[in-house]
Amino acid sequence: MKIYQFPDPLLREKSLFIKEIDGSTAAFMERLKDRMYVNKGCVGVAAPQVGELKRIVVVDATGHKKVPVSHGLLLMANPQILAVSGSTINREGCLSVPDYTGNVERGDYVKVKYMDKNGEEKIMEADGFEAVILQHEIDHLDGVLFIDRVKNTKRDLFPRKNY
């Protein structure tokens, strides 16, 4: 799966809602998960990053130093933030923005509704960096990149050596 990179205009599109999880959608979610694990340290990927304008994200914060307790692997269709609160600033990176990392302010807590791989509606809550990851990935579905949320590009954007 090819990763689309900034400034590809596809990354700026709004992704489409998933009506139901059929076999091909479930298989796509699995492939997206496999793609996430290709890059060591990658904690999430959204469908538009591989050129599919579908509201699907995969997240796995397991083992991340900023996530002492994680929900493990999450395969989400139509993820929607129902509530957000608090504030936290973290250094973010993105497979689609390979040359930079940036300090981004986001909510410190989210409540998210989504459909899982079996088409079941779920609601979960996350805080800290796992909440940040979810907000970052869900942003992709609306064509928003973390660099859009960096307040001061001179002060808060940093060249990245490797990804």
Residues that bind Zn ion (CB under 5 A): 94
Q: Which residue, 48 or 128, has its beta carbon nearer to Zn ion? A: 48
Please, what is the minimum distance in Å from the beta carbon of residue 41 to Zn ion? 13
Helix (H) or strand (E) holding 44: strand 44-46
∠ at Cα 122 (31, 62), nearest 5°? 55
- Residue pair 130/61 in contact by the 8 Å Cβ criterion: yes
Q: Which residue, 119 or 151, has its beta carbon nearer to Zn ion? A: 151
Please, what is the minimum distance in Å from the beta carbon of residue 85 to Zn ion? 22
Q: Which residue, 89 or 123, has its beta carbon nearer to Zn ion? A: 89
Please, what is the minimum distance in Å from the beta carbon of residue 121 to Zn ion? 25
**Signed CA dihedral, 156, 95, 77, 67: sign only:** negative
- Residue pair 4/97 in contact by the 8 Å Cβ criterion: no
Please, what is the minimum distance in Å from the beta carbon of residue 96 to Zn ion? 5
Q: Which of 52, 92, 130, 137 is catalytic?
A: 137
Strand arrangement, sheet containing 73-85: 44-46, 56-60, 73-85, 109-115, 121-127
Q: Which residue is nearest to Zn ion (CB)?
A: 94
Q: Which residue, 21 or 94, has its beta carbon nearer to Zn ion? A: 94
The answer to whether 121 is a known catalytic residue is: no
Active site residues per annotation: 137
